[in-house]
Amino acid sequence: MPYQVLADLVLAVHAALVVFVAGGLVLVVIGNLRGWGWVNHLWFRLLHLAAIAIVVAESWLGLNCPLTTLEIWLRTEAHATAYSGGFIEHWLQRILYYDAPPWVFATGYTLFGLLVVAAWWFFPPTRRR
């Protein structure tokens, strides 16, 4: 596969993970209010907690997301300018990448992570029976 296609695939996976992390908390809260049992399954909650924990750790340690690093490397290998391309790529990048000081991201990710932990307190996960 050409590097550009792989870079676009990495970008799409990255966007899907962002949706999972952000949407997962929304699903847990709404799902509990509506009685959806699956939102409390331990596997879902552990995966969600691990995903936000990784994001928080990366931000506090000053690390770039490995998916971002991989995408940029693939675009470089494709001899493409990073963050340019087709319609879908353009809009996914506008959603995922924005400029702000690192402390803004660390604070935002940490607060979101604390909300995920609070959801564990208010809506504890359950094991399948």
Per-residue pLDDT tens digits for 58-92: 989 988 889 988 988 998 898 876 555 554 555 56
Output the pLDDT for position 72. 86
Range of the domain at 59: 3-122
89 CB-near residues (< 8 Å, 6+ apart): 8, 11
What's this model's pTM, rounded to 2 decimal places? 0.80
C-alpha 121/C-alpha 89 separation (Å) is: 38
Total domain count, the chain:
1
In a domain, 127, yes or no: no
